[in-house]
Amino acid sequence: MNKSVQEKICEISKKLLTHGLNHGATGNVSVRIDNDFYITPSGMATEWMEAKDVVKCSLLIDEEEVSRMTKKPSSEWHFHQQVYQTRSDVNAIVHTHSPYASAISVLRKNIPAFHYMIALFGGSEVRCSAYEIFGSRELSQEIIKTLGPLKACLIANHGAVLVSNDLENAFYLAQELEHLAHQYIELLKIGSLTLLSEDEMTEVLLKFKSYGPSSQAQD
């Protein structure tokens, strides 16, 4: 039996919880279907969330419409909406407050090409946005600018955003980003890093385009 999009969102949200990538009511998940997107609700502990709690929003929804809704979408609905409006390649978004990626976001550092798997996110680094308050249009604009055409970015003093064409892959990207963030923090404790050059990363990015059964690089 095929699962509904709401059931899939609940399933991935709870996997983010059990994998330590979110906790309590933190983070959010959405999926685009045609001219709508389905998103986790505002302020609800993931542990207790059910499919019926997932909120359906039009891609054209605005603050006035949200204010009239009995069941409100995540306070971060602005950036989910704007990503879908500006990125036709994106059909799923995962936002995490995972420990290591969040720690780097507090340092307001980009994650550079210290490991070839950084290319998994589409470029030679994972960039960190400027700070804006959560749930704001200003934060949404910063995320759009920082993310660009890539699959991940950090949000200053906040967490991370992962985007993909499908929800399962967005979850996979969230796991990989946290693993790399952990490695990067451990290396920062040691001191100097040897980064891959732009030429080396360009070669990796080209190889990633045809690597693996679903073009997901794995070692």
76 belongs to the catalytic site: yes
Q: What is the pLDDT of residue 204?
A: 96
Query: Distance of CA 137 to CAs 52, 63, 155, Å?
Result: 27, 10, 14
Distance separating alpha carbons of residues 161 and 98, to the nearest angstrom:
11
SS3 (DSSP) at 173: helix
142-180 confidence digits (pLDDT tens): 999 999 999 999 999 999 999 999 999 999 999 999 999
Q: What is the pLDDT of residue 1?
A: 63
For residue 5, the tally of other CB atoms under 10 A from its CB is 19
Q: Which residues contact 210 (CB under 8 A, 6 or more apart)?
A: none
Q: Which residue positions in the chain have pLDDT lower than 50?
A: 215-219
Q: What is the pLDDT of residue 212?
A: 56
> Choosing from 76, 125, 176, 178, which is the catalytic residue?
76
Q: Is 200 exposed, middle or buried, given 0-12, 13-18 or 19+ CB atoms closer than 10 A?
A: middle
Distance separating alpha carbons of residues 195 and 197, to the nearest angstrom:
6
Q: What is the pLDDT of residue 215?
A: 45
Span 5-208 CATH architecture: 3-Layer(aba) Sandwich (3.40)
Distance separating alpha carbons of residues 14 and 85, to the nearest angstrom:
27
Distance separating alpha carbons of residues 170 and 173, to the nearest angstrom:
5
Distance separating alpha carbons of residues 90 and 24, to the nearest angstrom:
26
Q: What is the pLDDT of residue 210?
A: 79
